[in-house]
Structure 1
Amino acid sequence: MSRFPQVRMRRMREASVLRSLAQETRISISDFIYPIFVTHGRGVRNPIDPMPGMYQLSLDNLIPEIDEVVSLGIGAVLLFGLPASKDAEGTEAYEPSGIIQEAIRVIKQTAPDMLVITDVCLDEFTDHGHCGVIRNGRVDNDATLELLSRMAVCQAEAGADVVAPSAMMDGQVASIRTGLDSTGFENLPIMAYSAKYASSFYGPFRVAADSAPQFGDRRGYQMDIANSREAMREIQMDIDEGADIIMVKPALSYLDVISRAREAFGYPMAAYNVSGEYAMVKAATENEWIDGQRITLEILTSIKRAGADMIISYHAKEAARWLS
């Protein structure tokens, strides 16, 4: 075996062109899915304090936002909605006039080719902030499935291209697949939040979506942060139930899970670069402790290197500018 000084790894690192030619992992604008928060009203562009650069947008302000996303070459968005009112069963989530459904129609009128992905979960729409129906003080898994299916069908009828169940209810993918197939949407894909951890990195999102639980927490249905074998079981179950895309969330602290899932499954894989990850980078950048651009691109590259095919990230717009 050849050894130093015959072998010098630095030979391929001296010139920038050589480094580029030998680069193993590349991120591109086509990898990104950009999350957007939509709300009722007009002229609303509310800054999300813990997520600098992100806003809650009314539908009239959604139009220029989509125009900008298109101009940057980003081809997909993920919608989250803030309802006009909340109740125990998240009724607006599955009404034709619900905020997500209205936003889908606006986007399709503005940019017909934009891929619109919709979050399928009740936490933004319930007055208790949990992801399902509450019975006897706890989330009732099976009672929630019907509502998630109704929500997904309602989004599909409004024009959604992909539905993304994130409630972490057992059987949610099968229930949604059955609902879609029985209403003529058998070709509409499901992006399953298959390995969604009960993470502390979601804090800023809960401000953005006004979705913090009003009692308890979500550890009874989201995954234990210490487990990776369990993630493989969750992903396999979603695949068996009809998922077309699998997801690991969060991304940065779970790169090992992304990598393990990439090796185990031959399915398209998404990773969610979540709000807490974004907020930390923004805070450190604003304090001039880090180079925000380099750190952001390094994080996104690490997610791609671990095995993600698509990256949901609040950094998507700025990353697209840097990469163009």
Structure 2
Amino acid sequence: MARPRSDRVASIKARLVARLTDGVHRPGDRFLSTRAVARHFGISYQTAHRLLAELGAEGMLERVAASGTYLAGGRALSRLPLLVMASRGRRKDSFGSRLHRAVETGLAAQGLDWTIRWYDEHASSSGRARSAVSALPRHALPMVWGAPDVLASCLADRRSAVLLHERPPSGIESVFIDSVSIDDFAGGVYAAQLLERQRLRGGYAILAGPAHDPRSCARVAGFLSRLRATVVHAQSWYLEGGLGVAERAVAAGRRGIFCANDRLAEAVHAWCRAARQPCPPLVGFDDAPVAERLGLTTIAIPWGELSTATAALVRRRLADDAASATHVVLSPRPVVRS
């Protein structure tokens, strides 16, 4: 007749179960060895072996001879870089198209193969979008921009991914989400420093992107940390979004206007030209092709560094799918044009 289990051994097993279900570990992750369990909890090797065997019989662990103990339900390792981008990235001379080129240039320089899938942001949370998410290959390593459903799926499944031009939400779910992003707050500060050199009278304005966009919010906050300004929000990041509010920005920003991206600065240029009014000093953001065409002073995203950093994160993740997440934050740089 087997002796009844002591309260202490039962407590140790409960702690092992809690560790297996803590939300951090994923199927296929290596777990504690028998010797490690014995040493950590101060129990005999035989007791530790029996506890791990019980967890294996209960379907929580898998023990592989001459290899070790793993969480049950081994996962597919990431082998194929898959670029998932919002369909607006197809728009010529847009930020997304520039990002697309930068990422592909970096991957090619590393000798990596990849595929691309365009995400219809207008179908977000719809059946079509959910279908696209579920169809991601098991062996794919998603590189995600502007595809919130894909990111949400990766978080829920504890799936590795590389997030582009954005930081993942804080939380246990994000421990395997790498990211490359820009210090937007610093960029807003740089813009304020450039505009405060102007000796004109009047106030400053910020032509911001959509009100709740995190990149726009960070750029606005950086500017306001140095200068007071009237904030005018555009409905979109595009020229047409800026045209609808350009008059308000010009009226408030006679001394200078910080535009949260170069397309919005283009809108101010276009409105002033159509209204036959002098254009206030402008500072844009991104250094998109339109900035050079307009001779626009702007805050440039370091595209070369972004390209290199993204490819390095992808290669690292392909080599070690269980590595902790790495977050690369790149500083933008001012580009002054006359």
- Give the TM-score normalised by the residue count of structure 2: 0.28
The structure, 1 or 2, with the larger RCO (C-alpha pairs under 8 Å, 6+ apart) is 1
- Give the TM-score normalised by the residue count of structure 1: 0.29
